[in-house]
Structure 1
Amino acid sequence: MSDPHDPNDHATRLKALEDRIATAKGGEVKKPRSEEHYSQANMAWRMVIELVAGLGIGFGIGYGLDVLFGTMPIFMVLFILLGFAAGIKTMMRSAAEMQNEQLVKQADKSEGD
């Protein structure tokens, strides 16, 4: 008889039980969660981070130049606006990349049908 404390025995018994449950349910196979939702959320976070990074870098450069030259708000405001514009441009590039990937997937899907 097997040792009741053997972890391998528990694992095999658990697997056998899962197989019997799947058979009783009609052989339904668990579908993996759709990764599309997570992919879109990741793209949204990527865009937000790109915008914030542009603003942060613009602020840092502008503030540094203002401290260096002694002209407090001029360069900071200018570079924050430039950083915002760069962040928007990068976000638009990411959106175009995402749209191109979707078009490729749709084209592949329509070719398969």
Structure 2
Amino acid sequence: MTDPDQQQQLSQLEAKIDAAKKRSAPKPRLEEHHSQAQLAWRMVIELVAGLGIGFGIGYGLDLLFGTLPIFMVLFVMLGLAAGVKTMLRSAQEIQSRKVAEEAGSDATRKGEDRGA
């Protein structure tokens, strides 16, 4: 093993082995720390926040103008609509991330299949 050619071949072999290990190693996911429960809680909080803000604005206007709870009912409905819209936007964002992630992993797999 003292021959320089053998040492060079050995170092090249080790480099190839390391490269193969890196390719086959599982890649960490960027959003691994988000579980489905956390995403569900995010959506629930968005809905409740919309309702709460609508209730607060409506109740405040009713107190200010001394009216029946017409503003409260109106703004609770608007808050509900805003909360649902925000929930749908969050769901669409999560879905687009998942589709992009799956497309990226599929492209990586196809590239590995071609290289083999």
Task: Report the Cα distance in structure 2 between the residues aligned to 1:38 and 1:105, rounded to whole angstroms.
Answer: 14
Task: Report the Cα distance in structure 1 between the residues aligned to 2:98 and 2:32, rounded to whole angstroms.
Answer: 11
Task: Map 1:13-92 to 2 at 5 A.
Answer: 38-92=34-88
Q: Which amino acid in the other structure matches residue 72 of structure 2?
A: M
Q: Deviations over 1:85-106 (max 9, x none)?
A: 0000000000000000100111
Partner SS, residue 102 of structure 1: helix
Task: Report the Cα distance in structure 1 between the residues aligned to 2:98 and 2:77, rounded to whole angstroms.
Answer: 32
Does residue 109 of structure 2 align to residue 108 of structure 1?
no
CA RMSD of the aligned region, Å?
1.8
Task: Report the Cα distance in structure 2 between the residues aligned to 1:98 and 1:106, rounded to whole angstroms.
Answer: 12
Task: Report the Cα distance in structure 1 between the residues aligned to 2:97 and 2:83, rounded to whole angstroms.
Answer: 21
Partner SS, residue 71 of structure 1: coil
| Percent identity of equivalent pairs | 68
Q: Which amino acid in the other structure matches residue 62 of structure 1?
A: G
Task: Report the Cα distance in structure 1 between the residues aligned to 2:108 and 2:70, rounded to whole angstroms.
Answer: 58
Structure 2 gaps of 5+ residues are 1-30, 110-116
Moved over 4 A (4+): 35-38
Q: Deviations over 1:20-41 (max 9, x none)?
A: xxxxxxxxxxxxxxx7585221
Task: Report the Cα distance in structure 2 between the residues aligned to 1:62 and 1:72, rounded to whole angstroms.
Answer: 11
Structure 1 gaps of 5+ residues are 1-34
**In 2, are the aligned partners of 1:63 and 1:72 still within 8 Å (CA)?**
no
TM-score (norm 1): 0.66
**In 2, are the aligned partners of 1:58 and 1:82 still within 8 Å (CA)?**
yes
Matched residue pairs, number? 80
TM-score (norm 2): 0.65
